[in-house]
Amino acid sequence: MIQVYGIKNCNKIRDTLKWLEVQDIDYHFYDLKKEPLSREELEEFVHRIGLDVLVNSKGTTYRQLGLNEKNLNEKELFEQLLENQTMMKRPVLVKDEAILVGYDEEAFEAFIE
């Protein structure tokens, strides 16, 4: 089963869930606003794919926090992400040990197989 992490009102999440349903793929959706990742879970994501992949530095939350004007080190950026998980690129798909970040139907197909 695929695990999908994001926020419910995100267009990319809606598109992803619709794509998974059309493909008849079982998934479980985690709304990060209602079920934020624990520190340990987020550390595992960062360890496996990197903070630079996980953080959406072009997103609204990142800009609203003024992070583009701050020179944060990785630890500070991680803490910001832990507190503001809507800053995560979406969707985040997890299947077994693999993680895929971002909406890309071709990548989804390869990831699912």
Omega before residue 36 within 30° of 0, cis: no
| C-alpha span between 7 and 14 (Å, rounded) | 9
Known active-site residue 13: no
Q: One of 3, 4, 7, 10 is an active-site residue; which one?
A: 10
CA distances from 73 to 23, 57, 66, 70 (A): 40, 14, 15, 9
Catalytic residues, which ones? 10
